[in-house]
């Protein structure tokens, strides 16, 4: 192989490794009907099957990762403290775990 080919392959391998590391710790907020709360869902399974009121999270909102806290106002009205997302708007938000 030529030096250029080796350099390209090394760059691709590093990029794939970075993507795997990033993807390993990212799920989505998903409402768990069995527990009546939000959890973290990934690959058709629960990573965390129930988040508690006051749990600190790192969420991807408005194009950037931000620290936030999930809380509940009433039985079924969950919300993120640092932004205006609440209730069903939380569904599918990317979260690091």
What pLDDT sits at residue 75?
A: 74
Instruction: State the pLDDT at residue 62.
Output: 92
Q: What integer best gives the mean pLDDT of the chain?
A: 86
Q: What is the CATH number of domain 26-96?
A: 2.40.10.390
pLDDT of residue 88: 94
List phi, psi (to 5°) of 87.
Answer: 55, -135
pLDDT digits (tens, 9 = 90+) for 30-84: 999 999 999 999 999 999 999 999 999 999 999 999 999 999 997 779 999 999 8
Residue with tokens 């590391």: 21
Look-up of token digits 């629960």: 46
* Helix, strand or coil, per DSSP, at residue 17: helix
pLDDT, position 95: 98
Reply yes or no on whether the pLDDT at 21 is more than 50. Answer: no
pLDDT tens digit string along 57-72?
999 999 999 999 999 9
């Amino acid at each position: 192989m030529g030096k250029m080919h080796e350099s390209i392959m090394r760059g691709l391998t590093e990029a794939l490794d970075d993507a795997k590391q990033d993807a390993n710790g990212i799920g989505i907020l998903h409402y768990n009907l069995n527990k009546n709360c939000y959890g973290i869902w990934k690959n058709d399974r629960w990573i965390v099957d129930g988040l508690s009121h006051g749990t600190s999270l790192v969420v991807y909102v408005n194009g950037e990762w931000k620290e936030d806290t999930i809380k509940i106002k009433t039985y079924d009205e969950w919300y993120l403290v640092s932004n205006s997302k609440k209730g069903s708007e939380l569904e599918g938000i990317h979260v690091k775990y």
